[in-house]
Structure 1
Amino acid sequence: MIAQVAPVLIAFGANLGDRGETILAAQAELAATPGIFDVAASPLRETIAMTLNGPDPEAPRYLNGVARATTTLTPHELLDVMQRIELQHGRVRDVRWGARTLDLDLILYSGRVIADDRLSVPHPRAHERDFVLSPWLDLEPAAVLMGHGRVADLLARIGDTTSPLDRSEDPDHA
């Protein structure tokens, strides 16, 4: 049996620890996973922390990015890999939308709609998150978010509060 190859989009975020190095390590781990190929990552962007109560300028700032890839893994197998990588990097799930060492979200999986107790794809809030849309636009200027339209139009509608990462000013990177 030949495995189906599915294009995917994965979002990365971190606001604790060495944010940039953690995201780069997670991207490398994904790329080294059997069944995941052709990982292409966006530049990282810095954003204010988003909490259940809205933006929090007092919380540590996030680094965010996205990566395109292809996979022969099923959506749930890919989710298991992503959650394993999060755990290996110290991810704790005790506060919803709380600070984290690493957050991986499956944004798209081969044009499929998935809605079950473990996974919702396309990601249900991607269209309203500049920290997903802005790096995605950096990576893929003609990108379209299934069910919502052109990424450039979505970002123009909600506004872009992200800023490109300047590694010389990144306190996590000495």
Structure 2
Amino acid sequence: MNRRLAEGIDVDAPRTDPTPVRAVVALGANLGDRAATLDAAIAELRRLPLVDDVRASAPVESVAVKPEGPDAAAPAYLNAVALVTTRLAPSLLLAFLQAIEARHGRERRERWGDRTLDLDLISYGSVTSDDAVLTLPHPRAAERDFVLVPWLSIDPDAELPGRGRVEVLLERLRSGS
């Protein structure tokens, strides 16, 4: 297992340090009552053990992205970002995110398929990991305006570890450079 760590945090180890870390979680849904699903998922994030605070962006609508690229014929997504202050280890937070997805009927049949709920752990403090189960920061976050726009709306000083300021990443994405 090849893993790079910052902050001395092992992504699989239980956290013994009581200092909270800010994690960034992207939420998306394009099936069912998208707004109600995102609201319910944010409420569930707030109820997780060892989560001290959750701030969520307003939702934004975006075109579905498939392996072939944007697909305007697919149901549109509603996306948001939550800033989660937690003492959970990254791998445990990921497990909780996947459990929330499952409770909302998430099925993993096809890559980037339509879904009732998608929760992605975008970053966890300044931790970096290239573990097969949990890559941090999320490898495509800098390429997704549906992540960067809502993130920037609730944290104007946001930075994606190893990639830079979210504001600059969004400008690059929009300019195509």
Local SS of the residue matching 1:96: coil
1:68 is aligned to 83
2:145 is aligned to 130
* Match of residue 112, structure 1, among 91, 111, 127: 127
* Match of residue 145, structure 1, among 140, 147, 160: 160
Separation of aligned partners in 2, 1:71 and 1:33: 9
Unaligned runs of at least 5 residues, structure 2: 1-15
1:10-51 deviations in Å (ceiling 9; x for gaps): 000000000111011001001011111210001100000000
1:171 is aligned to none
Unaligned runs of at least 5 residues, structure 1: 161-174
Separation of aligned partners in 2, 1:40 and 1:114: 24
Which stretch of the first structure deviates more once superposed, 84-93 or 146-155?
146-155
Separation of aligned partners in 2, 1:112 and 1:18: 34
Cα distance change on mapping 1:56 and 1:2 into 2, 3 Å: closer
**Mapped pair 1:103 → 2:118:** yes
Where does structure 1 differ by over 6 angstroms across 4 or more consecutive aligned residues? none
TM-score between the two structures when normalised by the length of structure 2: 0.87
Separation of aligned partners in 2, 1:145 and 1:6: 14
**Mapped pair 1:10 → 2:20:** no
Separation of aligned partners in 2, 1:51 and 1:84: 24
1:80 is aligned to 95
Local SS of the residue matching 1:159: helix
Separation of aligned partners in 2, 1:119 and 1:2: 21
* 1:49-68 matches, cutoff 5 A: 49-68=64-83
1:118-171 deviations in Å (ceiling 9; x for gaps): 1101001100100000001111112111111111111111129xxxxxxxxxxx
Displacement of 1:2 in angstroms is: 5.0
Q: CA RMSD in A?
A: 1.2
The amino acid of 1:100's aligned partner reads R
**Mapped pair 1:40 → 2:42:** no
Separation of aligned partners in 1, 2:122 and 2:101: 16
